Amino acid sequence: MQKWKDIYGELKMYVEEHPDVDIQDNLINIPKSKQPTFYSMFDKLRDTYIAEEFPALLNDAGLLSAAYLNIERELIKLLDLDDILMPNDIKRFLHKPLDQMRREIFDPLFDLLSGKIEMQRFILDTTVNINASFKRLYQEGYEKWTVLSLLRLFEPDKIYYVPLKNPESKQVIKHSVTAKESLPLPVESKQFAFEVGRRQALLAPDAIIHSARLDKYVAFRTAFCSALWSANSYSDQREWYSIESLVEEYGFIILRPDLLVYIDDNVEAVSMVADAERICRPDIVVECVNEMDDSKNLMRERLENINSCYAILKPVVGGFVVSRKNMPSYVHDELEDEINQIEVGFEGAKLGSIISTI
């Protein structure tokens, strides 16, 4: 197989032999007639660089991608979905890992070709960027696989979403502090939409399913964050925590649980997770940790956050920590005794222990 440095040499020679291909520090001009050849070599170089310099990462990404695509195809067929939505970078990483990983090389490679940076700097910068990007995307991708694999075990036969409007900037600015927001009723959906970071007037679930296994409604919420406004009503079938009271008791703590799960006989009872004043007590909290958190200090900080989240939200059924591999012994030692740790790998059936506690 051709080495990436050899391909780089050929690309560099192509640029030198075609003066109309102009690549400078602040100017890139590639004539349309030259673009197919140039970008064919450019992309081949990026692909080869990833495969040659980061084979372990590419292999791990491939295993995750295969597992994710299996559960995605199964749920799309089972629920007749049009799509499963999520941020573009995570979707690319899960569907075509190499296509996403090579994006980190795009700008540095042009910097190298223009002479803005030297080869050593190119290797250093891309190594840092690829490792950081991979760690984030792998973590978020494994969370997506975990959510969908758990959802499948509930044996869903219908899926719903809450059609909240996304407020525009002017609406946010003009919104009265005392005004209350109405929560729309859940409606059947053809999509599962992981939260993609939009401004949210109220926090609704990513999706609500009807579980044939339990004959109940199960709501899933990832990417927990602060809601902008207050609701005009709350389900009296659920327990609600006052955010003000939580702050008084625990101080200002940022809650970032990976997954909150709500279970109820009534679909409307699980249609809101939080507003600006209250948080609904979850039935289950699931956190995903992995061995890529290789710094003991970072892992301990993560464990502290997990313990704090469990202590504050007090999930009715319980808290669970899911991992791809067996974690160091100190992880188990430093988790609260009530939090269950499950080594799952890519065997979705192992998540059944969560449902068996309900």
Q: Kindly state whether residues 43 and 130 are assigned to the same domain.
A: yes
Q: Total domain count for the chain?
A: 2
Domain boundary pick from 101, 125, 148: 148
pLDDT at residue 124, rounded to an integer: 97
294 near 152, Cβ under 8 Å? no
Q: Kindly state whether residues 243 and 319 are assigned to the same domain.
A: yes
Averaged pLDDT of the chain: 92
pLDDT at residue 331, rounded to an integer: 86
Q: Which residues contact 230 (CB under 8 A, 6 or more apart)?
A: 179, 180, 181, 275, 276, 277
pLDDT at residue 257, rounded to an integer: 95
Q: Kindly state whether residues 46 and 136 are assigned to the same domain.
A: yes
Domain boundary pick from 123, 148, 173: 148
Read off the pLDDT of residues 94-142 as tens digits, 9 standing for 90 and up: 999 999 999 999 999 999 999 999 999 999 999 999 999 999 999 999 9
**Residue 8 structural domain:** 4-148
Q: Kindly state whether residues 174 and 306 are assigned to the same domain.
A: yes
pLDDT below 50 — which residues of the chain? none
pLDDT at residue 201, rounded to an integer: 83
Q: Kindly state whether residues 130 and 178 are assigned to the same domain.
A: no
251 φψ region: left (φ > 0), alpha (ψ -120 to 50), beta (else): left
For the chain, how big is the Rg over CA atoms in Å?
A: 24
Q: Kindly state whether residues 33 and 172 are assigned to the same domain.
A: no
Q: Kindly state whether residues 212 and 265 are assigned to the same domain.
A: yes
Q: Kindly state whether residues 328 and 206 are assigned to the same domain.
A: yes
Q: Kindly state whether residues 171 and 229 are assigned to the same domain.
A: yes
Cut 0.85: pTM above it: yes
> What DSSP letter does each residue of 268-280 carry, written as one string?
GGGS--B-SSEEE
Name the strand (E) or helix (H) holding 250. helix 243-250
Domain boundary pick from 94, 119, 148: 148
- β partners of residue 208: 160, 219
Closest by CA position to 288, among listed 323, 256, 264, 250: 323
Amino acid at 202: L
Distances (CA, A) of 202 to 111, 175, 233, 262, 284: 44, 14, 12, 16, 20
Q: Kindly state whether residues 162 and 202 are assigned to the same domain.
A: yes
Q: Kindly state whether residues 241 and 290 are assigned to the same domain.
A: yes
Q: Kindly state whether residues 191 and 64 are assigned to the same domain.
A: no
pLDDT at residue 294, rounded to an integer: 62
